[in-house]
């Protein structure tokens, strides 16, 4: 590069190939020193291009570790997490789980209803309205609030006391009553013919189940014979409850 002409040739933008010339000794008929020129076109550069950064890991399908992409009611369960209507469980390894196929207990239902209502300011009484619920019990405030709003009045036992039965699973007919009352018990005339083959018009909570269907909060099941059923005495699973709450809110 010290020669001006050599430097100019090396830096000429029209150059496409580079070569190296060197002298080597040979033997045989052509013994002596010979000039060898190597064309370097096509050789890899000594400068290595860094490997591309690995693609970021896909975002998890849910904040709950036991839910998977494509699962029925996934978006609704994620919605209850986002709204903090349900916070699920914290497992020993620190992960959060929703347990979608567990039944909803009455105390948890009280918490759901209270949070759906916006967690209103409320001071629970110092004496529990229910003989089977202590003031220090989980969700006591929410159960007491539910009673104060007459969303659930519990049971009157033979001895005259009121009970809530907090750990009892919630049946689908009772769930319909809870949501109807949470909505303010709106004026509604139930049809004279039930939309559900397994629900009679004289059945307890018929009006509430019919109202729920009219709002498409729960549409029940379509059976093989084409009839619609509500399965009123079946326990409500947590995944289905997420769907009911989402539809009620929307």
For residue 45, pLDDT beyond 60:
no
**Tokens matching residue 73:** 């009611």
- If pLDDT is split at 50, 70 and 90, which confidence band does 56 have? confident
- For the ranges 13-22, 95-104, 195-204, 225-234, the lowest mean pLDDT is seen at 13-22
* pLDDT value of residue 149: 96
Domain boundaries, the chain: 105-170, 171-234
* Strand 228-229 to 19-26 pairing: unpaired
* pLDDT value of residue 185: 97
For 23-38, the pLDDT digits (tens) are: 667 666 666 666 665 5
Mean pLDDT of 14-22: 62
Q: What phi and psi values does residue 9 have, to the nearest 5 degrees?
A: -65, -40
For 61-91, the pLDDT digits (tens) are: 899 999 999 999 999 999 999 999 998 999 9
Ordered DSSP codes for the chain: --SHHHHHHHT-TT----EEEEEEEE-GGG-EEEEEEEE-TTPPPSSPPPPPPPPPPPPPS-SSTT--TT-TTHHHHHHHHHTTS---EE-TTS-EE--TTSBPBHHHHHHHHHHHTT-------SS-SSTT--TTSTTHHHHHHHHHTTS---EE-TTS-EE--TTSBPBHHHHHHHHHHHTT-------SS-SSTT--TTSTTHHHHHHHHHTTS---EE-TTS-EE--TTSBPBHHHHHHHHHHHH-
- Which of the residue ranges 28-37, 147-156, 233-242 has the most confident prediction, judged by mean pLDDT? 233-242
Q: What phi and psi values does residue 81 have, to the nearest 5 degrees?
A: -70, -45
């Amino acid at each position: 590069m010290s020669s001006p002409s050599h430097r100019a040739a090396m830096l000429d933008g029209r150059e496409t190939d580079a070569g190296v010339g060197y002298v080597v000794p040979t033997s045989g008929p052509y013994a002596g020193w010979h000039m060898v020129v190597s064309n370097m076109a096509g050789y890899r550069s000594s400068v290595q291009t860094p490997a591309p950064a690995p693609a970021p890991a896909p975002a998890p399908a849910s904040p709950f570790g036991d839910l998977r992409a494509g699962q029925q009611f996934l978006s609704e369960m994620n919605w209850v997490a986002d709204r903090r209507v349900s916070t699920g469980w914290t497992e020993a390894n620190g992960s959060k789980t929703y347990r979608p196929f567990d039944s909803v207990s009455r105390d948890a239902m009280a918490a759901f209803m209270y949070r759906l209502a916006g967690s209103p300011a409320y001071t629970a009484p110092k004496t529990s309205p229910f003989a089977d619920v202590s003031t220090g019990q989980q969700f006591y405030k929410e159960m007491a609030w539910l009673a104060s709003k007459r969303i659930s009045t519990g049971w009157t036992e033979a001895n005259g006391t009121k009970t809530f039965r907090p750990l009892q699973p919630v049946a689908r007919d009772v769930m319909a009553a809870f949501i109807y009352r949470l909505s303010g018990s709106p004026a509604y005339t139930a049809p004279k013919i039930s939309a559900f083959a397994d629900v009679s018009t004289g059945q307890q909570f018929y009006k509430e189940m019919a109202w729920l269907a009219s709002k498409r909060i729960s549409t029940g099941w379509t059976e093989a014979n084409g009839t619609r059923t509500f399965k009123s005495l079946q326990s409500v699973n947590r995944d289905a409850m997420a769907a009911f709450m989402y539809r009620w809110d929307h």
